[in-house]
Protein backbone atom coordinates (compact mmCIF):
# COMPACT_ATOMS: atom_id res chain seq x y z
CA UNK A 1 0.00 0.00 0.00
CA UNK A 2 1.21 3.50 -0.79
CA UNK A 3 -0.74 4.90 2.16
CA UNK A 4 -1.57 8.59 1.84
CA UNK A 5 0.05 10.39 -1.09
CA UNK A 6 0.11 14.11 -1.78
CA UNK A 7 1.15 16.07 -4.84
CA UNK A 8 2.88 18.36 -5.44
CA UNK A 9 5.56 18.38 -2.73
CA UNK A 10 6.40 22.03 -3.33
CA UNK A 11 4.58 24.83 -5.09
CA UNK A 12 5.10 28.54 -5.56
CA UNK A 13 2.11 30.64 -6.56
CA UNK A 14 1.49 34.28 -7.26
CA UNK A 15 -1.30 36.06 -5.43
CA UNK A 16 -4.59 35.43 -7.19
CA UNK A 17 -3.57 32.21 -8.90
CA UNK A 18 -5.56 29.05 -8.37
CA UNK A 19 -4.35 25.52 -7.83
CA UNK A 20 -5.40 22.12 -6.54
CA UNK A 21 -3.49 20.10 -3.97
CA UNK A 22 -4.02 16.43 -4.59
CA UNK A 23 -4.49 13.79 -1.91
CA UNK A 24 -5.10 10.09 -2.42
CA UNK A 25 -5.21 7.06 -0.14
CA UNK A 26 -5.39 3.37 -0.98
CA UNK A 27 -6.51 2.06 2.41
CA UNK A 28 -10.25 2.40 1.72
CA UNK A 29 -10.58 4.90 4.54
CA UNK A 30 -13.88 6.73 4.71
CA UNK A 31 -12.59 9.70 6.72
CA UNK A 32 -10.17 12.14 5.08
CA UNK A 33 -9.05 15.57 6.17
CA UNK A 34 -6.85 18.51 5.27
CA UNK A 35 -4.70 20.42 7.75
CA UNK A 36 -2.40 23.37 7.49
CA UNK A 37 0.63 23.68 9.71
CA UNK A 38 2.03 27.08 10.59
CA UNK A 39 4.85 27.97 12.99
CA UNK A 40 3.63 28.37 16.55
CA UNK A 41 0.07 27.32 15.70
CA UNK A 42 0.19 23.58 15.31
CA UNK A 43 -2.00 21.71 12.88
CA UNK A 44 -5.36 23.28 12.06
CA UNK A 45 -8.22 21.51 10.36
CA UNK A 46 -9.33 23.07 7.05
CA UNK A 47 -11.96 20.65 5.70
CA UNK A 48 -12.86 17.04 6.26
CA UNK A 49 -14.96 14.32 4.71
CA UNK A 50 -16.64 11.32 6.30
CA UNK A 51 -17.23 9.60 2.98
CA UNK A 52 -17.68 10.02 -0.75
CA UNK A 53 -20.05 12.88 -1.51
CA UNK A 54 -19.84 14.34 2.02
CA UNK A 55 -17.62 17.24 3.06
CA UNK A 56 -17.65 19.65 5.97
CA UNK A 57 -15.75 22.66 7.21
CA UNK A 58 -13.08 22.57 9.86
CA UNK A 59 -11.50 25.32 11.91
CA UNK A 60 -10.04 27.41 9.04
CA UNK A 61 -12.04 26.75 5.84
CA UNK A 62 -12.04 30.23 4.28
CA UNK A 63 -10.27 30.41 0.93
CA UNK A 64 -10.38 26.65 0.37
CA UNK A 65 -12.80 24.30 -1.37
CA UNK A 66 -12.92 20.52 -1.32
CA UNK A 67 -14.83 17.75 -3.01
CA UNK A 68 -15.00 14.00 -2.47
CA UNK A 69 -16.22 12.25 -5.60
CA UNK A 70 -14.46 8.99 -4.74
CA UNK A 71 -13.35 7.27 -1.53
CA UNK A 72 -9.71 7.47 -2.63
CA UNK A 73 -9.32 11.13 -3.54
CA UNK A 74 -9.80 14.34 -1.58
CA UNK A 75 -8.44 17.36 -3.48
CA UNK A 76 -8.05 20.78 -1.86
CA UNK A 77 -8.61 23.80 -4.09
CA UNK A 78 -7.32 27.32 -3.64
CA UNK A 79 -9.44 29.49 -5.94
CA UNK A 80 -7.48 32.73 -5.49
CA UNK A 81 -4.26 32.24 -3.52
CA UNK A 82 -3.26 34.79 -0.89
CA UNK A 83 0.07 35.20 0.94
CA UNK A 84 -1.72 34.18 4.15
CA UNK A 85 -2.12 30.73 2.62
CA UNK A 86 1.62 30.17 2.62
CA UNK A 87 1.89 27.06 4.76
CA UNK A 88 2.54 23.35 4.83
CA UNK A 89 -0.54 21.32 4.01
CA UNK A 90 -1.13 17.80 5.27
CA UNK A 91 -3.76 15.37 4.15
CA UNK A 92 -4.76 12.55 6.49
CA UNK A 93 -7.10 9.60 6.47
CA UNK A 94 -8.48 7.08 8.93
CA UNK A 95 -11.10 4.41 9.27
CA UNK A 96 -14.38 5.88 10.46
CA UNK A 97 -14.50 4.24 13.89
CA UNK A 98 -10.76 4.20 14.54
CA UNK A 99 -8.75 7.01 16.07
CA UNK A 100 -5.37 6.62 14.36
CA UNK A 101 -4.86 9.00 11.47
CA UNK A 102 -2.39 8.37 8.66
CA UNK A 103 -0.70 11.48 7.31
CA UNK A 104 0.58 12.25 3.86
CA UNK A 105 4.08 13.69 3.37
CA UNK A 106 2.84 17.25 3.09
CA UNK A 107 2.80 19.97 0.44
CA UNK A 108 4.84 23.13 1.02
CA UNK A 109 3.09 26.11 -0.55
CA UNK A 110 4.53 29.58 -0.95
CA UNK A 111 2.26 32.37 -2.16
CA UNK A 112 4.06 35.51 -3.29
CA UNK B 1 -7.15 29.73 23.60
CA UNK B 2 -5.38 26.43 23.02
CA UNK B 3 -7.22 23.29 23.95
CA UNK B 4 -3.90 21.44 24.04
CA UNK B 5 -0.74 22.80 25.61
CA UNK B 6 2.66 21.19 25.32
CA UNK B 7 5.85 21.80 27.23
CA UNK B 8 8.60 22.46 26.71
CA UNK B 9 8.45 24.10 23.28
CA UNK B 10 12.11 23.34 22.65
CA UNK B 11 14.36 20.77 24.24
CA UNK B 12 18.03 19.97 23.75
CA UNK B 13 19.47 16.85 25.33
CA UNK B 14 22.71 14.93 25.35
CA UNK B 15 22.68 11.47 23.85
CA UNK B 16 21.65 8.94 26.48
CA UNK B 17 19.53 11.32 28.55
CA UNK B 18 16.00 10.49 29.71
CA UNK B 19 13.53 12.90 28.11
CA UNK B 20 10.02 13.88 29.12
CA UNK B 21 7.57 15.90 27.04
CA UNK B 22 4.31 17.01 28.65
CA UNK B 23 0.84 17.57 27.23
CA UNK B 24 -2.17 19.08 29.02
CA UNK B 25 -5.61 19.37 27.51
CA UNK B 26 -8.81 21.14 28.48
CA UNK B 27 -11.42 19.28 26.41
CA UNK B 28 -13.17 16.00 26.97
CA UNK B 29 -11.43 13.36 24.92
CA UNK B 30 -11.86 9.79 23.77
CA UNK B 31 -8.17 9.33 22.99
CA UNK B 32 -4.85 11.12 22.82
CA UNK B 33 -2.20 10.74 20.16
CA UNK B 34 1.52 11.34 20.17
CA UNK B 35 2.89 12.14 16.72
CA UNK B 36 6.46 12.50 15.50
CA UNK B 37 7.44 14.89 12.72
CA UNK B 38 10.94 14.52 11.32
CA UNK B 39 12.93 17.36 9.74
CA UNK B 40 11.82 16.16 6.30
CA UNK B 41 8.26 17.01 7.35
CA UNK B 42 6.51 13.65 7.41
CA UNK B 43 4.22 12.92 10.35
CA UNK B 44 4.07 9.49 11.96
CA UNK B 45 1.68 8.32 14.64
CA UNK B 46 3.64 6.96 17.64
CA UNK B 47 0.92 6.15 20.16
CA UNK B 48 -2.78 6.33 20.69
CA UNK B 49 -3.84 6.27 24.36
CA UNK B 50 -7.16 6.28 26.11
CA UNK B 51 -5.87 5.25 29.55
CA UNK B 52 -2.78 4.09 31.40
CA UNK B 53 0.52 3.56 29.70
CA UNK B 54 1.95 2.24 26.45
CA UNK B 55 5.53 1.31 25.59
CA UNK B 56 7.20 0.88 22.23
CA UNK B 57 10.93 0.34 22.30
CA UNK B 58 12.53 3.29 24.09
CA UNK B 59 9.33 5.34 23.98
CA UNK B 60 6.77 5.33 26.77
CA UNK B 61 3.51 7.27 26.78
CA UNK B 62 1.28 7.76 29.81
CA UNK B 63 -2.04 9.45 30.32
CA UNK B 64 -3.93 10.57 33.44
CA UNK B 65 -7.54 11.14 32.45
CA UNK B 66 -8.51 12.76 35.77
CA UNK B 67 -5.69 15.30 35.54
CA UNK B 68 -6.09 15.74 31.75
CA UNK B 69 -2.38 15.22 31.27
CA UNK B 70 -0.17 12.99 29.18
CA UNK B 71 3.57 12.52 29.00
CA UNK B 72 5.90 11.09 26.39
CA UNK B 73 9.16 9.68 27.71
CA UNK B 74 12.22 8.71 25.71
CA UNK B 75 14.77 6.54 27.47
CA UNK B 76 18.43 6.48 26.38
CA UNK B 77 17.84 9.24 23.83
CA UNK B 78 19.66 9.10 20.50
CA UNK B 79 20.32 11.75 17.80
CA UNK B 80 17.84 9.97 15.53
CA UNK B 81 15.14 10.88 18.07
CA UNK B 82 15.59 14.52 17.03
CA UNK B 83 12.20 15.59 15.73
CA UNK B 84 9.11 17.58 16.62
CA UNK B 85 6.74 15.68 18.89
CA UNK B 86 3.08 16.66 18.66
CA UNK B 87 0.31 15.84 21.09
CA UNK B 88 -3.22 15.55 19.63
CA UNK B 89 -6.36 15.19 21.74
CA UNK B 90 -9.37 13.54 20.14
CA UNK B 91 -12.65 15.07 21.24
CA UNK B 92 -15.35 16.02 18.75
CA UNK B 93 -12.41 16.83 16.52
CA UNK B 94 -8.62 16.58 16.65
CA UNK B 95 -7.00 19.27 18.81
CA UNK B 96 -3.28 19.63 18.17
CA UNK B 97 -0.56 21.01 20.38
CA UNK B 98 2.05 23.27 18.80
CA UNK B 99 4.74 20.65 19.19
CA UNK B 100 7.97 20.15 21.12
CA UNK B 101 11.14 20.44 19.08
CA UNK B 102 13.67 17.92 20.41
CA UNK B 103 17.36 17.97 19.49
CA UNK B 104 19.57 15.19 20.79
CA UNK B 105 23.27 15.99 20.61
CA UNK B 106 25.82 13.18 20.21
> Best of A43, A49, A92, A97 to disrupt the B interface by mutation (most B CBs within 10 Å)?
A43
| A14: closest CA of chain B, how far (Å) | 24
- B63 to chain A, any CB pair closer than 8 A? The answer is no
The model's pLDDT over B48-88, given as tens digits with 9 standing for 90+, comes to 899 999 999 999 999 999 999 999 999 999 999 999 999 99
Collect the ranges in chain A with pLDDT lower than 50.
none
Measured CA distances, B69 to A13, A112, B20, B56 (Å): 41, 41, 13, 19
d(CA A44, CA A27): 23
| B97: closest CA of chain A, how far (Å) | 6
Q: In the Cβ-directed half-sphere of A33, how many Cα atoms lie within 13 Å? A: 24
Test B41 with A108 for CB contact under 8 angstroms: yes
The model's pLDDT over A61-89, given as tens digits with 9 standing for 90+, comes to 999 999 999 999 999 999 999 999 999 99
What is the rounded end-to-end Cα distance, in angstroms, of chain A?
A: 36
- B77 to chain A, any CB pair closer than 8 A? The answer is no
CA A2 remoteness from chain centre:
17
Amino acid sequence: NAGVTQTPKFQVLKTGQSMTLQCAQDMNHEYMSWYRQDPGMGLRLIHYSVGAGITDQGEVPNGYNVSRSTTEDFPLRLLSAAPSQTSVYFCASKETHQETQYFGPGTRLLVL
Amino acid sequence: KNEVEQSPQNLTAQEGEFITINCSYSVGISALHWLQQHPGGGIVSLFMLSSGKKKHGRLIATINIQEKHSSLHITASHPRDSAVYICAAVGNQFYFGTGTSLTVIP
